[in-house]
Structure 1
Amino acid sequence: MSDKRIVIMGAGAAGSYLGAYMTKEGHDVTLVDMWGEHVETMQKQGLRASGSQGDFTIPVKAFHLSDAMQLDGDFDIGFLAMKSYDTEWAAHFLKRLVKDDGVVVSSQNCMNDQLVASIAGYDRAVGCIMSSITVALWEPGHVTRGGPPGRGRGHVVFRVGELHGRITPRVEELVDILMCVDDAKATSNLWGERWSKLTTNSSGNPVGAMTGLGSEGVASMPEARRIQINICKESCQVALAQNYQVEPIRGVSAETFSKADDGEVYEDLDAKFQPTGGGADWKSSMGQDVEKGRRTEIEFMNGYIVEQGRKSGIPTPINAAIVQVVKEVQSGERSPGPENVYRVLELAGMA
């Protein structure tokens, strides 16, 4: 067990899950969040973690954002677990809490590492990709995990890396800390891991959000799978054009996804997106946001792919179309439903 003091900025589903398991392991963890009812429940009743890894409740140190102003700047490690649209202000807040020689870890979705580093300091910034971990916070003080843990099925959930790519002692220490939650490893390819996770998120999150379906429901629609495969194709084409060494997506290389227009390749890829049968029909994090009436990260997922595609001269019509439709759902202009699949295909010129 590390003797480092840890603060988690953002006790949403991911931050709460990390905090619960780290605290259970004996680490000195402080949680900071803006949801008053959640913070108050944790203070009075502890934090409950349930789901595929068991069910327990543990006392935690939790602070509302307004009260966290009183915390000293003496933490060794700060995890940034906020939504991407909150990155800038949250990184400024978190950097004040972490020692000058401490570490600020972006454990977020999307490509926020450069922004976090520019605020917290490039010498303090480390990235952490959380791969295939499905968690939800449907009620205050209770986080739950769906789907099997990575440990035991050969999947490494946490991939921790420096922006410059070298494996350092602090990265190895973070790996050791995260091992109490699920399998973790150090990576020398942070950016390739980020693009892989961005592609996975961008192909799953918005489709579930705009349809209102869970993962099995989406997988059961051939047209939805067509959208997912083409999102991955465009994302990989953009990443490869920018010379990233993208880690495999669903066990498939970025080079293969980039050739999805080939009929035989498409058939092989479509098999990867088929229903698993018996699996949990879990709602994506963006689908959860839509259900809760919250802003989504669509601009930082598919919108980022569109933006980078423009810079690289790579067309991204399916990503642009799904950004438009999810924004309409988010604003209330359009209701979630399977019919939105056909609207995306129409906008992308694929109907």
Structure 2
Amino acid sequence: MANKPILIWGAGAIGGILGAYWARAGQDVVMVDIDESHVKVCSTEGILIEGPATDGEFRQKIPTFTPKSLSGTFDVIVLAVKAQATKTALSQLLPHLSDDGFILSAQNGLNERLIANMAGAERTMGAFVNYGSDWQEPGRILYGNRGAVVVGELDGSIRPRTKQMHALMQQFEPEAILTHNIWGYLWGKLGYGAMLFATALTPDSMSANFANPERSPALVNLAREVMAVALAENVTPLGFNGFTPESYFPDSPNSEAEKSISALVEFTANTAKTHSGIWRDLAIRKRKTEVDPQIGIITEIAAEHGIKTPLLTRLVELIHDIEDGKREQSAETFNELLNAMEQEI
């Protein structure tokens, strides 16, 4: 693999950092992005990786193309676009995937389902990333904090290609994990992700939201709803970076959930990325979030099992209201989640 180019589709907060670290380590990397200004800087001056999680900021020049200007086929394509762009990206990248190649999803959500449907399950590999990063401007990425990085096959097997991708991830994150249960990590991230979407309802930092005792019940119950759906799917959710899924299982006492919340206060306080990418999409970049493919899909799966998810459903509505300019990011908007809880009592 070291002598074969890896294609990273989406050179933003996730893909840009992976590409820069891999290229710096000697791996042949090619990137694709839809932002022409970003493409130009990455290819000429080089992509700048900065922030406290780096071992010293650096620039790395990487051949980067727009989808229309790319040519050739690749054995490994790392998909790192926003979840809502997955279908479009797949339609563009599949002609560039070799017959025996595969796609690794380095995204948030359950995008592996869609990738497997469009590309084939055998050509799909899962990944879980929880490091803190933000796209700042063309050619500039903030690496705010280290976080869990995991690689695994959808069927739980460990193959030579899985080991190769794990070794590649270790070039970026030495503590990267090779797992038999990638779905467990993905569902765990969905529980944590639901909380992060809730923090984006306010202008406050992630840590400030987790530390607010008045908001804690809503955060806990969002995670509880996600975990109930995961268990119905026969998935054993796995924890990471302070998030302990079992603390939010239906029969788990609130005291255990509060311990996990305290751990998340500490984890989110120790980063230069003070707010979630969701908050940044709403407050800074003024664009649609991943709420439908990340949170909306959970409510759809829940309905298939006859499980009610009132808080997740309300969260999706509130995020859409902010996207549409009907609400502001405020404490009052977050309180709508608390009101939804009271209505269920």
Compute the TM-score of the two structures, normalised by the length of structure 2.
Answer: 0.92
Distance 1:78 1:316, change over 3 A: same
Distance 1:287 1:28, change over 3 A: same
Distance 1:20 1:50 in 2: 11
Shift of 1:347: 3.0
- The amino acid that maps onto 2:311 is I
Distance 1:39 1:72 in 2: 18
Shift of 1:207: 1.9
1:133 is matched with: 131
2:182 is matched with: 190
1:179 is matched with: 170
Contact 1:49 1:57 in 2 (8 A): yes
Task: Confirm whether residue 224 of structure 1 aligns to residue 226 of structure 2.
Answer: no
- The amino acid that maps onto 2:217 is R
- The amino acid that maps onto 1:312 is H
1:304 is matched with: 297
Q: What is the root-mean-square deviation in Å for CA atoms of aligned residues? A: 2.1
Shift of 1:272: 3.4
Distance 1:235 1:198 in 2: 7
In structure 1, runs of 5+ residues without a counterpart are 151-156
Task: Confirm whether residue 167 of structure 1 aligns to residue 165 of structure 2.
Answer: no
Distance 1:292 1:178 in 2: 29
2:64 is matched with: 62
Distance 2:240 2:298 in 1: 16
SS of alignment partner, residue 65 of structure 2: strand
Contact 2:151 2:162 in 1 (8 A): yes
- The amino acid that maps onto 1:135 is S
Q: Which moved more, 1:294-303 or 1:279-288?
A: 279-288
Shift of 1:274: 3.8
Distance 1:277 1:256 in 2: 18
Distance 1:58 1:255, change over 3 A: closer
Distance 1:220 1:86, change over 3 A: same
Q: Which moved more, 1:311-320 or 1:171-180?
A: 311-320
- The amino acid that maps onto 1:57 is R
In structure 2, runs of 5+ residues without a counterpart are none
Shift of 1:120: 1.7
5 Å-filtered alignment, 1:54-133, equals 54-68=56-70, 71-73=71-73, 75-130=74-129, 132-133=130-131
Give CA-to-partner distance per residue, 1:177-202, whole Å, 9 cap, x none: 11111132221112111111111112
SS of alignment partner, residue 293 of structure 1: coil
Distance 2:151 2:26 in 1: 21
Distance 1:217 1:268, change over 3 A: closer
SS of alignment partner, residue 135 of structure 1: strand
Distance 2:256 2:2 in 1: 47
Distance 1:14 1:21 in 2: 11
Give CA-to-partner distance per residue, 1:223-257, whole Å, 9 cap, x none: 33222211111111111122111112555653431
Contact 1:211 1:337 in 2 (8 A): yes
Shift of 1:128: 0.9
Contact 2:211 2:262 in 1 (8 A): no
Distance 1:42 1:270, change over 3 A: closer
Q: Which moved more, 1:238-247 or 1:207-216?
A: 207-216
1:4 is matched with: 4
SS of alignment partner, residue 160 of structure 1: strand
Distance 2:241 2:44 in 1: 41
Q: Which moved more, 1:322-331 or 1:120-129?
A: 120-129
Contact 1:219 1:275 in 2 (8 A): no
Give CA-to-partner distance per residue, 1:293-333, whole Å, 9 cap, x none: 11101112221221122111222111111111111001111
Contact 2:291 2:316 in 1 (8 A): yes
5 Å-filtered alignment, 1:1-351, equals 2-51=2-51, 52-53=53-54, 54-68=56-70, 71-73=71-73, 75-130=74-129, 132-147=130-145, 149-150=146-147, 157-182=148-173, 183-204=175-196, 206-248=197-239, 251=242, 253-259=244-250, 262-274=253-265, 279-280=270-271, 282-290=274-282, 291-349=284-342
Distance 1:217 1:271, change over 3 A: closer
Distance 1:251 1:144, change over 3 A: closer
Distance 1:214 1:232 in 2: 19
SS of alignment partner, residue 136 of structure 1: strand
- The amino acid that maps onto 2:142 is T
Shift of 1:126: 0.7
Distance 1:270 1:335 in 2: 25
Distance 1:194 1:216 in 2: 22
Contact 2:192 2:243 in 1 (8 A): no
- The amino acid that maps onto 1:168 is R
- The amino acid that maps onto 2:98 is K
Contact 1:219 1:273 in 2 (8 A): yes
Contact 1:229 1:260 in 2 (8 A): no
